[in-house]
């Protein structure tokens, strides 16, 4: 691969788009480990409301986060069409309960725009960037903000 090709590749990012509460979000595909069909999670006592519980992922306990509830859209009424996106953040692996997976987009990083600063609490800034894809406005999820922190897990 030539140096020019490497420079072109470094400016592109692949995003997995998905639906949550009728809205379109995306995450860097490099953080996605797999996509699974919905399976009922085992609830845990004293877990935050947006944590649906845990499932057995090939012998590993996987925490399931209801992304709609985490984003303030209310608890997901689960159906067979719901999916779990298994993501890895470098520290932990978590499952995100979403309505459906939509597409994979190859995007030049210059197409990503900063969201307006409207959040009163920077820790609750769940959108890291915005992107226009055709007629759609896609929100790029700030994955680290959407996942339970150590303080949340201890609550």
Please give the mean pLDDT across all residues of the chain. 87
Q: 69: Cβ–Cβ under 8 A, 6 or more apart, which residues?
A: 49, 50, 75, 76
For the stretch 28-52, pLDDT in tens is: 999 999 999 999 999 999 999 999 9
Whether the predicted pLDDT of 2 surpasses 70: no
CATH numbers and ranges of domains, the chain: 12-146 (2.40.50.180)
- What does pTM read for this prediction? 0.85
What average pLDDT does this structure show over 119-128? 69
Structural element, H or E, at residue 153 = helix 150-154
């Amino acid at each position: 691969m030539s140096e020019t090709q490497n420079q072109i590749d470094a400016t592109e990012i692949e995003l997995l788009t998905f639906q949550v509460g009728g809205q379109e979000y995306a995450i860097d595909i490099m953080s996605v480990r797999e996509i699974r069909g919905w399976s009922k999670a085992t609830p845990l006592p004293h877990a935050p409301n947006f944590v649906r519980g845990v499932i057995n992922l090939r012998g590993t306990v996987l925490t399931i986060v209801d992304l709609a509830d985490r984003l303030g859209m209310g608890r997901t009424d689960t159906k067979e069409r719901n999916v779990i996106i298994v993501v890895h953040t470098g520290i932990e692996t978590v499952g995100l309960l979403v309505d459906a997976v939509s597409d994979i987009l190859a995007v030049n990083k210059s197409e990503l725009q900063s969201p307006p600063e409207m959040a009163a609490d920077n820790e609750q800034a769940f959108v890291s960037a915005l992107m226009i894809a055709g007629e759609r406005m896609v929100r790029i999820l700030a994955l680290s903000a959407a996942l339970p922190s150590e303080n949340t897990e201890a609550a």
